Structure 1
Amino acid sequence: MMSLKEKSKTLKREDNKCVIYLQLTHESRIKLISTGLKIYPWQWDSNHMCIVSGVSDISEKAQSFLDSKIKNMGKKQVASEMEYDCFTQALSCEENDKESLLFFEFMNDLINRLEISGCYRTAQTYKCTYRSFSRFLKKHDICFEKLNADLLKKYERYLKDRGLTLNSISFYMRILRAVYNKAIENYQINKKNLFKHVYTGIEKTRKRAVDEGVISQLKKLDLENKPGLALARDLFLFSFYTRGMSFIDMAYLRKRNIKNGFIYYNRQKTGQQLRIRIEPCIQEIINRYVSVMENSDFILPIIRKNDNEISSKKYLNAISYQNKQLKIISRMLNLPINLTTYVARHTWATAAKKKNIPISIISEGMGHNNESTTQIYLASLDQAMIDNANHKILCEL
């Protein structure tokens, strides 16, 4: 008889994630089959061989996802009553899958994995691309083998005809490329240079940071009778005060993350462990919502009390509401750009750079895996410094 078990196996990846494997056992021989579901080591209970409950909404979704995988593999690979070797059959099933692998079916599977892993924003970008590419193909799924450079060029023209900018086109193309590369990785399909003749670059955009004077304006803004706007302002400031903590990490922040005057947490995006000293301005915001969050494990009222887990829908609703409130505040202050959750993060990086803090320290403080990511945040700052220098020179003529 064969048995299927969940097993965690560490991958040699920069994000230090693990893959959950199903263990197929037959006559003392073992075959590990990847589910493709990636989680962080701290999300895995090695004693009970299951996903830790309560860390996000991954527990229930992940179990459902694994159950469907087991059921699907059971139909294809359980061959205890067959006369031939079950491993030969398993491998032949994988070959058949490779030939009939459907693009949208595979992409939908990736989206499910992302949501299970708590990568809600990334899942949303995949969904957006899924809908766009599906409309282009009139909702007809295609095999990976039929995906070619000519089809992608037609899709690029389709997007241009609808008035999309180059960066928007690149956004869709880079996600399609990521899906294609995942299929190559998981199914060993023949790799082709499909994206060579479509735009996948990034054009410079307007800066996404505000001057430090805006932070002072926000602190002084009277929002006493506007609790929704006051909360949005506090969350923006909290992100800035905590070295640009991302909104998803703020949403997951729990009371157990505070120890001896420090906030300890793992970034949802990379799993990197960060420690932030609680300055008086940070403590002031935490104290403001102590009574509101009295019956919750969470610190900030992003996901309301009594919710032990964060679902993708609740999180996406929360970040959408936050950005809408910040847009109202931006109009109140007559700001040249709209405040968003990203602006707080960019503003901290920009402020640090202006104070001549080394990029290596800024990168470490923001939890970036490498300095090249930090450089993207600071690209607009460098141009602004050049413009200011030119202005001073011209004024002195």
Structure 2
Amino acid sequence: MKISIILYKSKTLADGSHPLMVRISELKSRKYLSTGLSCPAELWDFDKNTPKRSHPNRKLLEAIIAQKKAAYHTKLLELESEQRKLSIQQLVQAIEEPKQVTQGLFPFLSEVYQNLIQSGKIGRARLYKRLLTSLKEFTSNKQLSFTDIDVPFLNQYEAFLYKQGLVENSINTYFQVLRALLNKAIQAKKMKREQYPFQDYSLGKFSTLTRKRAINKEDLQQIIALRLAAESKLQIARDYFLFSYYGQGMNFRDMASLRWKQIVKDRVVYTRLKTGKTMNFKLLPPALEILDRYQKTTGVKAEDLVFPILDKNKHLSPQQIDNRINRVLKQVNESLKEIAKQADIPVHLTTYVARHTYATVLKQSGVSTGVISEALGHKGEQITQTYLKSFSNEVIDEATTLYS
């Protein structure tokens, strides 16, 4: 494809001059585009395609012509570097049509968030919402373009998050979401691949070591031994904690969605919401005792929910379900905090402690990481390794007796 500026003698303007045109040619195809400039024929050098020395505005005209040619050549090289096979018309459209306003990072982030909500991926959407809120706070709500996200920006944002009091695990999550966002932007042609800053900014420096969350046998027995009022918030919180522990470390969201039809005799068969893995395990006597109590309050119809966390007639949309689970989980963890205080346990007790303690039991029993990963319903062993790195070998010495 050849680009040149020519004096178009086929057209004569009112003052007798001729228009200067951009001529794009490829094989037998030609396209002429106006430059908005003109020149009398006697002041144009047709051999060199430049204004003659005698032209009164020669230098200015030469500069404008050079600028026009450079713009077309640059666009042509840019499109060819993207390995795009383009026609003359496509090149013309790429440079002549008004450029669309580049979408900023915040609008794109909001768009990704809304798409996740509509897809029912509420948990993932929440991470993008948190990133949006955090970045707006960091930038004082100033608009960001994708070109603003470079290594110095990431270093400054990292310092901001540390100043906010976040631990490395949490900071790592923010940066993982930001990295995923930029990858989406590249796929959507909102950002050029060469602008991607994570080639020079590594997330490996952030420790993914999970803080110690497991409790020992004595702690567990103290929780069980507490005298709590029947059907009180503390009693319900303890039930959820113990059912998770005795139920193969079941996640709270999975417990909230558990239905009686998924319990067959003394076994539970369900699909993990987070990973889509099918879980199948035997219920131990303490877990069966808990279920027996809830049969009297939630019913035993196949479609009935086991625990009174969600109302199947009220919490219908993914957003309503997610909001309700988050509210109840917050209340349960507040109650577990009080339980830990009453039981004199020096651990920040949450529903996740039950899950981590279950993993510890398996580890101390000599079970391989692969089997523990399968038992917890993890997608891979790497996630399980993150759990197990935080467990010391002194936790739960007599693992085999914990279920008795």
1:365/1:354 CA distance change after superposition, 3 Å: same
1:278/1:117 CA distance change after superposition, 3 Å: farther
In structure 2, the partner of 1:291 is 296
In structure 2, the partner of 1:316 is 326
1:314/1:363 CA distance change after superposition, 3 Å: same
- Find the residue that maps to 2:111 and give its secondary structure: helix
Deviation at 1:258, TM superposition (A): 2.1
Contact 2:216 2:395 in 1 (8 A): no
Give 5+ residue unaligned stretches, structure 2.
1-89, 398-404
In structure 2, the partner of 1:333 is 343
Contact 1:251 1:302 in 2 (8 A): yes
1:237/1:118 CA distance change after superposition, 3 Å: farther
Give 5+ residue unaligned stretches, structure 1.
1-87, 390-397
Q: Residue type matched to 1:307 in 2?
A: K
In structure 2, the partner of 1:371 is 381
1:360/1:118 CA distance change after superposition, 3 Å: same
- Residue of 218, 232, 240 corresponding to 1:235: 240
In structure 2, the partner of 1:215 is 220
- With normalisation by structure 2, the TM-score equals 0.65
In structure 2, the partner of 1:134 is 136
Deviation at 1:320, TM superposition (A): 0.8
For 1:327 and 1:97, the matched residues in 2 are separated by 57
1:165/1:239 CA distance change after superposition, 3 Å: closer
1:129/1:253 CA distance change after superposition, 3 Å: same
Structure 1 residue 110 corresponds to structure 2 residue 112: yes
Contact 1:209 1:350 in 2 (8 A): yes
Aligned length: 296
For 2:113 and 2:329, the matched residues in 1 are separated by 19
Structure 1 residue 303 corresponds to structure 2 residue 305: no
In structure 1, the partner of 2:32 is none
Matching of residues 251-262 of structure 1 within 5 Å: 251-262=256-267
- With normalisation by structure 1, the TM-score equals 0.66
In structure 1, the partner of 2:174 is 172
Deviation at 1:293, TM superposition (A): 1.2
RMSD of the alignment, in Å? 3.2
- Residue of 131, 151, 156 corresponding to 1:154: 156
In structure 2, the partner of 1:19 is none
For 1:246 and 1:98, the matched residues in 2 are separated by 46
Q: Residue type matched to 2:281 in 1?
A: I
Deviation at 1:239, TM superposition (A): 0.7
Contact 2:271 2:277 in 1 (8 A): yes
Q: % of aligned pairs identical? A: 33
Q: Residue type matched to 1:347 in 2?
A: T
For 2:99 and 2:322, the matched residues in 1 are separated by 30
User: Which has the larger displacement, 239-248 or 304-313?
Assistant: 304-313
- Residue of 232, 243, 252 corresponding to 1:247: 252
- Find the residue that maps to 1:263 and give its secondary structure: strand
- Find the residue that maps to 1:373 and give its secondary structure: helix
Contact 1:244 1:346 in 2 (8 A): yes
- Find the residue that maps to 2:280 and give its secondary structure: strand
Deviation at 1:352, TM superposition (A): 0.8
1:112/1:254 CA distance change after superposition, 3 Å: farther
Structure 1 residue 350 corresponds to structure 2 residue 357: no
Matching of residues 177-216 of structure 1 within 5 Å: 177-187=179-189, 189-191=191-193, 192-195=195-198, 196-197=200-201, 201-202=206-207, 204-216=209-221
Q: Residue type matched to 1:212 in 2?
A: K
- Find the residue that maps to 1:256 and give its secondary structure: helix
Matching of residues 44-63 of structure 1 within 5 Å: none
Deviation at 1:136, TM superposition (A): 1.5
Q: Deviations over 1:304-359 (max 9, x none)?
A: 46436352211110111111111111111111111112111111000111111222
For 1:362 and 1:97, the matched residues in 2 are separated by 55
Q: Residue type matched to 1:157 in 2?
A: A
For 2:118 and 2:257, the matched residues in 1 are separated by 15
Contact 2:215 2:357 in 1 (8 A): yes
